[in-house]
Structure 1
Amino acid sequence: MTLLRATGGCTFAEDPARDAPRARIIWRAALDPAALEVDAAPTAAKDPERFDPARLAPFLTIARHATGREYAVLSDGRRRIRLDVVTGSLQEGAVVLSYRLAGIHGAKARVLTLRRLLALCVHARFSPSLFPPDPRVARWIEALRVHDALEAGACQREIASALWPDLAWREGEGGDAQRSRLRRLVLEARALAAGGYRELLRARR
């Protein structure tokens, strides 16, 4: 369990030196439409309806606000499930979870989170079929690489060479399409770095 360190839209932000598969970032629910609010009621260890935090401990990270409210993320490094514990605690043994869902459009992402959570509880692993690949991720990774290159002082030719090593940099009119592609990535990278990254969770609903 970790006390909250709020920054950049997170209720809990990891040490930036930690590699991505091991990082556990807990975004504020206002930025993460898939965050599922739950109430946790203590129950017997043999209750068939129990949620057992100890069983899922390798995946579970919990952050606690000064008010006592808990925020949790279950992740294997590639996939994640976000829970806001409105009442009760996930740190005191087995519990029965009640799920807070309301509305129509607002509930869609949370219903998917609930399905993912139920599958994880049953199988003790993340269900690949409930986490389909997002085709936009490759573009976001390119933008991140461009941002890092710009911060390091790289020129356009150097950035293009790193991104597309099999495509020779072309000067003049012959390279217009390549430069246009790179300019779009530069604009996207700067927009993400300026705070646009907070919209990525909404974009993945």
Structure 2
Amino acid sequence: MDERSVAEDLFDIRALAAFVSVEIDDNHAEHWLMSDGHWTIRLDLHDGTLLAGPILVEHRVTGLESAKSKLEALRQFVVLAQRRNLPASMMPRERRAAQWIAELRVGDAILDGAGHQDIARALFGSSIAERRWRIENSSYRLRVQRLARVAREYLRQPLSGPWFL
């Protein structure tokens, strides 16, 4: 390898200083966390240190079942190290966001005095039967009941829960 190739392969944590925090455990192993609040990449050093300057990174993948998520994390790390930011296309989506939005909407509806049928119509529109909605749309009724139960619990505990992170 020529000198330029070696330099391009090195990683310097100082380039990402705005995104990093580190914990050094009792065994002197370093545990790095890189995050901007929307994404997080964790890097555990088994040997050596990132504190001494640029290093050549080696990545271990153990286990076939868990390799997929580890390889995705490695891909994110490489892009972050090269670009100094993580493009939106690589940021993980919050899997529960749609549920939290529904819970928030139901909480707002409860505060406005809406009943379960009103909430069901607001959430599911024309899927709700005009008459006998409790019988014709029992799955929607049960879903609204679950959402209302969770929303009421959040409303009992102001400034807590996923709405106020």
Q: What range describes the TM-score normalised by the shorter chain of this pair?
A: 0.5 to 0.7
Identity value in percent: 24
Give the letter for the 2:63 counterpart. G
Kindly tell me the number of residue pairs found equivalent between the two proteins. Answer: 128
Paired residue for 2:71?
111
What's the CA shift for 1:76?
1.1
Kept in 1, the 8 Å contact 2:38–2:91? The answer is no
Q: Work out whether 1:75 is the aligned partner of 2:35.
A: yes
Q: Quote how far apart the aligned CAs of 1:77 are.
A: 1.3
Alignment partner of 2:84 out of 107, 114, 124: 124
Q: Which runs of 5 or more structure 1 residues have no equivalent in the other structure? A: 1-45, 146-158, 189-205
Quote the Cα distance in structure 1 between the aligned partners of 2:118 and 2:17: 55
Local SS of the residue matching 2:59: strand
- Flag the structure with more relative contact order, 1 or 2, with Cα contacts below 8 A and sequence separation at least 6: 1
Uncovered stretches (5+) of structure 2, i.e. residues with no partner: 1-5, 120-133, 135-140, 155-165
Out of 44, 50, 59, the residue aligned to residue 84 of structure 1 is 44
Q: CA RMSD in A?
A: 3.4
CA distance in 2, matches of 1:141, 1:88: 44
Which of the pair is proportionally richer in helix?
2
Measured after TM superposition, the shift of residue 138 of structure 1 is 4.0
If each structure's strand is expressed as a fraction of its own residues, which one has the higher value? Answer: 1
The amino acid across from 1:111 in the alignment is L
Q: Distance in 1 between matches of 2:51 and 2:102?
A: 39
**Which residue does 2:115 correspond to in 1?**
170
Distance in 2 (alpha carbons) for counterparts of 1:142 and 1:64:
41
